[in-house]
Amino acid sequence: MREVAIIGAGMIPFGRRDQDTLLDMLAYASLKALDDAGLGDKSVDAVYVANMGAGMLQHQTAIASALVDRLSLLPAAADAIENGPASGASAIKNGLLAVASGYYNLVLVAGGEKMREVTGWKATDFVATMTHPEVEYPYGITLPGMAGMFTRLYMEKYGVTREQLVDVAIKNQKMGALNPYAHVEMAITKEGIMDSRDAVVNNPVAADPLHLYDLCPVSDGAAAVILCPLDLAKKIAPKTPVLVAGFGQATDTHTLQERDDPTELKAVQLAAQQAFERAKLKPADMDVAELHDAFTILEIAESEQVGFFKKGEGGKAASAGKTGLGGQIPINMSGGLKARGHPVGATGVAQVVEVVFQLRHELEKNRQVKDAKNGFTINFGGFGNNVVAFVLRRVEA
Amino acid sequence: MREVAIIGAGMIPFGRRDQDTLLDMLAYASLKALDDAGLGDKSVDAVYVANMGAGMLQHQTAIASALVDRLSLLPAAADAIENGPASGASAIKNGLLAVASGYYNLVLVAGGEKMREVTGWKATDFVATMTHPEVEYPYGITLPGMAGMFTRLYMEKYGVTREQLVDVAIKNQKMGALNPYAHVEMAITKEGIMDSRDAVVNNPVAADPLHLYDLCPVSDGAAAVILCPLDLAKKIAPKTPVLVAGFGQATDTHTLQERDDPTELKAVQLAAQQAFERAKLKPADMDVAELHDAFTILEIAESEQVGFFKKGEGGKAASAGKTGLGGQIPINMSGGLKARGHPVGATGVAQVVEVVFQLRHELEKNRQVKDAKNGFTINFGGFGNNVVAFVLRRVEA
């Protein structure tokens, strides 16, 4: 199997993008990635599009065929990949397999979602379509509902506190405010969302014990990367290539209720383990990570489950600044889903784009992890029932 | 790159399956394929699900995660693939790349669609979501509408006659009546649908010059195959393995209007060419083919475009029986989309399942192509804007 590298990465600012169609957003992000890879007139061999909701939200299918035409990349092969909120990482995985197989050389992977066509309960309902169609969805469970129950269990079993959750939210919004691609640009304070009388109004309960600021926003957005064999990358890439050193993907019970211990995110653990093994690296070798913080509790739980901290230590580590810039393992220096936003099909690609920027050392000082060599991502599908992990490594000249 | 073989194939009867959910259908077909491959307790490494409309039709996403759980195949990787009506072949292609890459050994590919939730104009509208979202869909064009215009052009340029179209329909319904998996089980006659007074009522105009019997029905259904490296196949397969000797995938302009000559199906030609080249075989080497006859004209046009007949000769060949059992190249011995039915996500997989049955020589005499060694499929996305082709070869012991 051939080693595969990322030679281009691009994204558009996430947020409310009423003026753009889904296809516009995918095209803008793709053009930025193609340009970043210096491909000029070179055509790509295959295109993967990550998207979860175009059928439901835009009444549109065959989005990959539409994109390859819009970008004048005909007759490249084109497929759309769906794995709920982990669609982005699944698409990158399939692009990776396509290159590793030897059949394709240059592959574009673009992820996008135009979610703000629906807001409020309709957005929550859209996301809930990924729950079990027989034993979950008809009974009204939603993803925030699951996250609330998960948080309560986690608090009871491991002593995670509301303050620790708030510390994650504050860190991620602070970093988001520094990231030009982030949806939420506003830094927040403990006083504003927890310690003052106003906090009751500013930060109401969303899914007890989670409050509004524990949840990611509903965003539009798109991101893209270009993959090719490492050998080719060394020849043609105008910027430092980033090796996809390892990947992992694992599934868990579709419903939360069937897990022996619902606080164990087995698919997160397995996917991370596979990725580290393939990369021949350990959690401690990672310099930067993007975790799937659709809810603040998930950043804490994942930071333990992938091996950055022991079980029960993730919340304390967050409050102690170990996951901030300059800390033991800087997590979500992009602002994460919490602040960058979570256009579901785009998220897994945006995580990889952020890590590529980090490993190329091209971010502003206030976000750049110094001398970062190895990066890690977790993209979390369903409520942890289909998880994809990547270990990325800077290719030194 | 490793050679990849099919060691299991299964499908459920297509038709109206009100009693089953989409997940039921996918699970039944998958179990048949797993059983056919003799896998017993062996787990698969990855699952691909081909589906186009679950979001829109079933208000359901993350169907691949749901299937892998239903089948107790955890923690296998699982992704859904969408490429309109070519989703099935796209999923098999991605399964093939996954095995060829060396990362996965046993891969299940299941395609399914529960389309009869919508009928009449709503079914036509569902399918039309694959047209261009800006310059086609808003103006009311539908797939039958495109096929009608395409047929008129083809008739004028190449002299295809209505009788030739009817001959395709008669052949395919005859074969469908012999196929226990086919939706339409009724043989038809030229008198009944063309030459009698009753024909006006039996077979009204649908999209001029196409009549009702030129169109495939709206069907529910699912089909599945198991892929693995050829070396492993030779060791573990209880039945004759079938090599995926070649594949091709090509895109064309998303809209029909932008093509220099709309009667040229460039993506069909390119995909077929790639598949033949990779297999080191020619069209004349094929013993049996499944073409994408969503409309009778497409079987004729594709039979020319892939190289079975010269341009303008496909219609005559069909009327002369050259595409029937015992003819030069038996096409759609399953009944094709026309009679087996066209549950969009399932079709590409069902085509491959049929060819696997043919190449294993296990069909009833009235459908079996004698001593078939090489088979061919075309799965046609959009109106020919994203096409996937396979060349399959019987692996002799």
What are B195-216's pLDDT values in tens digits?
999 999 999 999 999 999 999 9
3-state secondary structure at position B357? helix
- Fill in the amino acid letter for A209: P
How far A395 CA lies from chain B's nearest CA (Å)? 22
B161 band by pLDDT with thresholds 50, 70 and 90 = very high
A45: nearest CA in chain B?
A: B250
Q: Tell me, what's the pLDDT at A119?
A: 85
Q: Which residue has the tokens 């194939």?
A: B9
Do B69 and A93 lie within an 8 Å CB cutoff? no
Q: Tell me, what's the pLDDT at B397?
A: 81
- pLDDT of B41 higher than 80: no
Give strand pairing partners of B222.
B112
CB–CB of B95/B227 below 8 Å? yes
Q: Tell me, what's the pLDDT at B1?
A: 86
pLDDT in tens, B314-351: 999 999 999 999 999 999 999 999 999 999 999 999 99
Taking the Cβ of residue A140 and every Cβ of chain B, the question of whether any pair is shorter than 8 Å is answered with: no
- pLDDT of B18 higher than 80: yes
Name the stretches of chain A with pLDDT < 70: none
Instruction: Return the closest-CA partner of residue B44 out of B12, B7, B3, B16.
Output: B7
Which H/E stretch holds residue B4? strand B4-11
Candidates B4, B71, B79, B146, partner chain A, best to mutate (most A CBs within 10 A): B79
Do B61 and A82 lie within an 8 Å CB cutoff? yes
Q: Tell me, what's the pLDDT at B133?
A: 87
**Numbers of helices and strands, H then E, in chain A:** 14, 11
B120 band by pLDDT with thresholds 50, 70 and 90 = confident
Do B1 and A56 lie within an 8 Å CB cutoff? no
Asked whether the bond before B343 is cis by omega within 30 degrees of 0, the reply is: no
The pLDDT of B47-58, averaged and rounded, is 97
Q: Give whole-number Cα distances, B286 to A154, A165, B291, in Å.
A: 60, 63, 13
What is the reported pTM?
0.98
List, in order, residues 6 or more apart from B207 with CB less than 8 Å away: B142, B144, B145, B147, B148, B215
Q: Which of residues 9-48 of B touch A (CB under 8 A)?
A: 21, 23, 46
Of B46, B65, B249, the CB nearest to A382: B65
Give strand pairing partners of B374.
B393
Provide Rg for chain A, Cα atoms: 19
Q: Tell me, what's the pLDDT at A120?
A: 87
Domains of chain B: 4-119+218-236 (3.40.47.10)
Q: What is the mean pLDDT of chain B?
A: 97
List, in order, residues 6 or more apart from B120 with CB less than 8 Å away: none
How far A283 CA lies from chain B's nearest CA (Å)? 21
Q: Outline where A203-335 has alpha helix (H).
A: 230-236, 266-279, 296-305, 314-319
Of B62, B69, B104, the CB nearest to A130: B62
Predicted-assembly ipTM surpassing the 0.90 threshold:
yes
DSSP classification of residue B215: B
Q: Tell me, what's the pLDDT at B196?
A: 93
Q: Which long-range contacts (CB under 8 A, 24 or more apart) does B25-28 make?
A: B25/B112, B25/B114, B25/B220, B25/B221, B25/B222, B26/B63, B26/B67, B26/B70, B26/B110, B26/B112, B26/B222, B26/B224, B27/B67, B27/B70, B27/B71, B28/B222
3-state DSSP percent of chain B in helix, strand and coil, to 5 = 40, 20, 40
Of B60, B64, B132, the CB nearest to A66: B132
Sign of the CA dihedral with A144 first, then A149, A154, and A156 last: positive
CB–CB of A114/A57 below 8 Å? yes
Of B62, B80, B386, the CB nearest to A382: B62
Distance CA A183, CA A106 (A): 30
Q: Tell me, what's the pLDDT at A1?
A: 86
Taking the Cβ of residue B135 and every Cβ of chain A, the question of whether any pair is shorter than 8 Å is answered with: no
